[in-house]
Amino acid sequence: MHSLRHTAASRMLENDTPLAVISDVLGHVDTDSTAVYFKVNLSKLKKRPLTIAEVRDHE
């Protein structure tokens, strides 16, 4: 099950899916739990910084 969730999150990230959407699909309450998937693809992470709204919503 872990590898399925990890693959799903990685694929969504590769397709520029917003962090909030990935969190919802995975059932995470806190986006910090989802942020771990950003480690998967550092080049993608560099291209996809958090938006102001995502930062504000996290505070």
Domain positions in the chain are 2-58
Supply the pLDDT for residue 14. 82
User: Are the beta carbons of 58 and 31 closer than 8 angstroms?
Assistant: yes
The tens-digit pLDDT sequence of the chain (59 residues) is 778 888 888 888 888 888 889 999 999 888 788 877 776 566 666 777 777 787 777 65
pLDDT score at 59: 58
pLDDT of residue 25: 92
Instruction: Supply the pTM of this predicted model.
Output: 0.59
